[in-house]
Amino acid sequence: MPESPTSILPSRFSWTQAAIVLILGFAVLRILALAVSPVSLYQDESQYWVWSRNFDWGYYSKPPMIAWLISLSTGLFGDSDFAIRLPAPLLHTATATFLMLSARQLWDARTGFWAAALYLTMPGIWLSGFVISTDAVLFSAWSGGLYALLRLRAGAGWGAAVGLGAALGFGFLSKYAMIYFLLSTGLAIIFDAPVRRALVSLRGLVALAIFLALLAPNLVWNAAHDFATVSHTAANANWGGDLFHPGELIEFLGAQPGVFGPVTFVILLTVFGLTLARFFRVDADQRLLVLYALPPLLVVSVQAFISRAHANWAAATYVAGTLLVLAFLLRGPDWRRWVLFGSIGVHSAIGLFAVSIAASPPLVEALGLGDATKRIRAWDDTADAILAAANADDYAMIVFDDRNAFHQMQRYAPALEGRMAMWLRQAGPTNHAEDVWPLAEDQAGRLLIVSNRPREVARMREDFERFEPVGDLAIELDGPYTRDFTLWVAEGHQRVVRDEAYEIRWRAFDEADQTTPLRGYSGDGE
């Protein structure tokens, strides 16, 4: 177990009070930083905002919780970028609090303080604290569920059972990666007797009933929409074609130190190895935490090897992983404490540097890091340029080939609302924008095509009787980078059937013409 507080601390010193001050301090600082942030919404954030304008039990690619939270925040504080992102620091505040309480439940208040400190300064959280994402919502539900489970395991009453069921339900309404929590719980029932006694009981049934009751409306919504969200999640796995990609696995694992921290990730892997080597002889608390930390990392690593995986897909690992690393660093030789303090310092330096980069275009230009910030810059300017092009003629519709640009225009060019549509590359919709705002088969009149994907232009041209260039846009970003669009006037929409012959023909085109620039396109783009 972690060592008790050292005797040199003042007698009135309270690790719990210190943890509360730390957690609230980070919350206030991050909220203030959001209030003055010059950073535009990222494309996914704009999409979540679009969802938030219409209440539903599910959306094309995600469960509904993130949209509900944005709707609540903008309803209370106005329809600003600040209000859209405000839930992010509050959610991480909740996660840090649950981790502090979990560490106190397992060990002591001192460990609770350092659990909050390590989590709040994790490299991935420095950025996630300023971006509204499904991971932020998932972390709060996962950490809340873990704390409720630990309380039930220790003999707590009905409140813990209700909390566990609510956390599971809200977690699944946030991100389907919460399924790893169920997998871990199944393993815990097998390998941890206190968890088995707590859950194979009336209290466990109550938690299960609450979870299913909260999840049911989303399941009904999915059934009514051909399981769109589930299908999108499965499509993201991309299990077609060659199923061996060691390079993707190396890339995925290589990105994890940037999420959890370079030294702390190595320590976490070490703890995993030590625990598995002596699985039935290690401390029961340590074994339980491994069961809640290892499965996401293991499953996503397999996914990366089979196909691909983004760095954040295993982020749930680092909830219980934070507690595991602390249990290791707060006991044993003194050097472990220095590793903890040093890691928190290094993580903070990395995080503050990243935040400074995002907030300061001159610093980005001086350091030549424009490629890292191009997706969060100048969307107001982009909207003004596209709006001017749209108003230059009597266009019946403004058509996009990139769902990211489409959602950004929904956010930053509200004057275009009702005049925008998405060109469909595939036989059917593959994202929310194409699903809700597809270009109608019988769309008449002159259309302005705003293309952000130069390789799609030749395909689009096939779908129209008339398709002619009318200019291009180059929006200045940080350093030498620009956001480039080609503009085309089109008429006579007659969509070519997307059958097998169509796909074979264009696949051959792609393979034969990978490097040739397309007419009307120049610049770096995105």
521 assigned to some structural domain: no
> What local confidence, expressed as pLDDT, does residue 520 receive?
35
The last residue of a domain, from among 359, 384, 399: 359
Q: pLDDT tens for residues 135-193? A: 999 999 999 999 999 999 999 999 999 999 999 999 999 999 999 999 999 999 999 99
Report yes or no on 370 lying in a domain.
no
Task: Indicate whether 354 belongs to any domain.
Answer: yes
189 plus 317 within the same structural domain: yes
Q: What three-state secondary structure class fits 404?
A: helix
Is 171 part of any domain? yes
380 and 351: one domain?
Answer: no
Say yes or no: 400 and 254 in one domain: no
Domain end, chosen from 329, 359, 389, is at: 359
Spatial distance between the Cα atoms of 161 and 201, rounded to a whole number of angstroms: 10
What does the pLDDT read at residue 408? 97
Same-domain status, 341 and 433: no
pLDDT by position in tens, the chain (length 526):
455 444 444 445 799 999 999 999 999 999 999 999 888 999 999 999 999 999 999 998 899 999 999 999 999 999 999 999 999 999 999 999 999 999 999 999 999 999 999 999 999 999 888 999 999 999 999 999 999 999 999 999 999 999 999 999 999 999 999 999 999 999 999 999 999 999 999 999 999 999 999 999 999 999 998 887 766 666 565 665 566 878 999 999 999 999 999 999 999 999 999 999 999 999 999 999 999 999 999 999 999 999 888 889 999 999 999 999 999 999 999 999 999 999 999 999 988 888 888 777 777 777 787 778 888 889 999 999 999 999 999 999 999 999 999 999 999 999 999 999 999 998 889 899 999 999 999 899 999 999 999 888 999 999 999 999 999 999 999 888 999 999 999 999 999 999 988 888 888 777 766 544 443 333 333 3
Tell me: do 485 and 341 sit in the same domain: no
Residues 332, 239: Cα–Cα separation, whole Å: 44
Indicate whether 518 belongs to any domain. Answer: no
CB atoms within 10 A of CB 149: 30
- Answer yes or no: do 279 and 415 share one domain: no
Residues 25, 107, single domain; the answer is: yes
- Is pTM beyond 0.75 here? yes
Q: Quick check: is 524 in a domain?
A: no
pLDDT at 521: 34
In a domain, 10, yes or no: no
Q: Which of 359, 388, 416 is the last residue of a domain?
A: 359
pLDDT at 61: 85
CA gap 297, 388 in Å, rounded: 47
Residues 6+ apart with CB under 8 A from 156: none
pLDDT of residue 466: 95
Contact 207, 165 (CB under 8 A): yes
Tell me which H or E stretch contains 110: helix 109-120
In a domain, 193, yes or no: yes
459/355 same-domain check? no
Exposure string for 60-81, b = 16+ CB within 10 A, e = fewer: bbbbbbbbbbbbebbeeeeeeb
- The tokens describing 262, both together, are 């370079």
Same domain? For 347 and 458 the reply is no
Number of domains in the chain: 2
3-state SS, residue 53:
coil
Q: Answer yes or no: do 411 and 488 share one domain.
A: yes
Domain residue limits at 494? 375-512
Co-location of 414 and 507 in the same domain: yes
Clarify whether residues 216 and 341 are in a common domain: yes
